[in-house]
Amino acid sequence: MELLKGLNQLFSESLLCDFTIQAGEKCVDVHRCVLAACSPYFKAMLTVDMFENTKRTVLLQNVDSAVLQDLVKFMYTGYISINSSNVQSLLLAADMLQIQRLVQHCEEYMSSSLSTENCLDVLSFADFQNLISTDELIANNVFCHQLISKFVQALSSGGHDPCKEMFCSTPRLGMHSRNMIVFSGGAFSPNDRSFCCFDPVTLQSFYSIKHHPTFDFKFKLDFYRLLVTENNDIYVLGGIFYDDYHFESGGGLAKGNVLVYSEQNGKWEDCASMDVPKCAFGACCYKDKIYVFGGYTAYPGHPPLDHVSVYDASLDVWENLDSMPIGIAHQATTVFRNSAFLLGGIDAGGQYLNTIIQYHFAQDKWTLLSSEMPVPRAEASAFVNDNHIIVLGGSNNTGGITSVNIFDVDRLRWSYASDFPEERKFTSVCQGNGCLFVCGGVRLSSARPGLLRASRSVELRDLYKYDCTQDEWVKLTRIVEQGSSFTCAYASVNCKFLTEYEGATSA
């Protein structure tokens, strides 16, 4: 008890504080040892080489300043004032930070204070967040039993009922979500139908976002794209079935399916299909619209397209735009300063390109830049960091590429970063939590001398983090599933629909 009082005194006087927590505009200086002792979430963050640990600060998303003050007070004193106005926000924050004693206090308060006035709101919140058992709430309060039972019955009947209408008009007060890396298995994975998540803070892997519906009626979709819009909607676009382009004479036809994952109900929903089915195309998000560049309508043995289209998520419609200067596929694509940049790829003659094509969103205009990449490459990835475009991975006619190139758009100059630890193509790259993450990919495994087997493609499970400031690569873990081509994104995911995977191993 004296130790706790002493730490609280140091906190009150802002002495020896070595970490800052920010929520909204509010910043609070604290002691890392207290955070790590009270919260497994903070312990995981502060005992590994994470961005927050290095910078000695963390921004808590979706936590307001008043809740931050209450959380810090509880960690230093063990006391907190819970009331009807703060209990739901406190419960969400405590659950995210894994402060189990505070979670228990909030659940006990919600259960003990249940009444006819608040039961619908509490029931809606508890069921949607999956934090409190609905059956337990009903059983613990006889006073509300009849009303809640009637309400549950009305929801299941589908008929007209005042309770149902009241519930449907009750606002959902935020979701129990975490920012995670979302990825899917690839063409060579035995479990390639699964979508999985990885929490870069706790280094935990999770099963699973429900299967992509397309995977339920045929096997191994490849060369598709996984994108996240500004509204945090996860989209899957196009692709081609692995069996079609490997075993069908004349190759296979690309798919035009477009699906969006709903964070609220954990389900995939159909969207308007692409006017031109495609695979191996470039794609990016800009102002909640999805732009699709080039690709193949059939593969292999067919020339790449110069076709460009845009999907308006708010209207669920596709629109064709001006064609690209050339037809390309397997290009790296990223967004920088209100433009899309398409780097490299493969042209109609099967040549690996070192070109850079800029698309201006506002003018629907194309520019072929005079500067070229140092190395021709396709099947690569590109991302933006500190006003530069960085290109990594991929391959050309000499094999896999390990070099990482940095493009200064203002000066039209190229420089080099530290090489990626090994050659690989079809890497999945995303940015989040102040870091760059490179997931999976494919490398060519050459046969060893004296063995009869031929070289083969090996799909990888390694997850790397790139520190742009230090220009160094760190292997974090081995992900649950093998990573495929362009199937990685950083998104907020509702944990209600996830199951923690115990088999993930740290690097």
The per-residue pLDDT string of the chain (507 residues; one tens digit each, 9 = 90 and over) reads 677 778 888 888 888 899 999 887 789 999 999 998 988 888 878 877 666 767 888 888 778 788 888 899 899 988 888 888 888 888 888 888 889 899 888 888 887 777 766 666 676 666 555 555 445 555 555 445 544 554 555 455 554 444 444 444 433 333 356 677 776 654 444 444 456 777 777 777 665 555 544 444 334 677 888 888 877 788 888 888 776 666 566 678 898 989 887 766 667 788 999 999 999 999 999 988 999 999 999 988 889 999 999 999 889 999 999 999 999 999 999 999 999 999 999 999 999 999 999 999 999 999 999 889 999 999 888 988 878 999 988 888 888 888 899 999 999 999 998 888 877 777 777 776 667 788 767 766 544 444 443 444 556 667 788 887 788 888 877 665 544 444 667 776 766 666 665 444 444
Tokens for 239, please give them.
């692709």
pLDDT score at 304? 96
pTM, two decimal places: 0.63
* Distances 483 to 334, 428, 463 between C-alpha atoms, Å: 20, 7, 9
Domains and CATH numbers, the chain: 2-168 (3.30.710.10), 177-506 (2.120.10.80)
CB 183 within 8 A of CB 198: yes
> Around 461, how many Cα atoms within 13 Å sit in the side-chain half-sphere?
19
Query: How far is Cα 352 from Cα 345, in angstroms, rounded to an integer?
Result: 6
Tokens for 343, please give them.
């780097």
* Distances 330 to 251, 291, 344, 412, 430 between C-alpha atoms, Å: 17, 15, 8, 23, 17
How many distinct helices (H) and strands (E) make up the chain? 12, 37
pLDDT score at 109? 85
pLDDT score at 40? 86
Q: Which is nearest to 336 in space by CA: 367, 311, 301, 313?
A: 367
Cα Rg of the chain (Å, integer): 25
CB 24 within 8 A of CB 65: yes
The separation between the first and the last C-alpha atoms of the chain, rounded to the nearest angstrom, is: 39
- With the C-alpha atoms ordered 86, 92, 97, 103, is the resulting torsion angle positive or negative? positive
pLDDT score at 407? 94
- 359-368, Cβ contacts within 8 angstroms, sequence gap of 24 or more: 359/291, 359/293, 359/308, 359/324, 361/286, 361/287, 361/291, 362/338, 364/321, 364/322, 365/322, 366/322, 366/324, 366/325, 368/325
Query: How far is Cα 148 from Cα 35, in angstroms, rounded to an integer?
Result: 39
Cis peptide before 374 (omega within 30 of 0): no
Query: How far is Cα 269 from Cα 214, in angstroms, rounded to an integer?
Result: 11
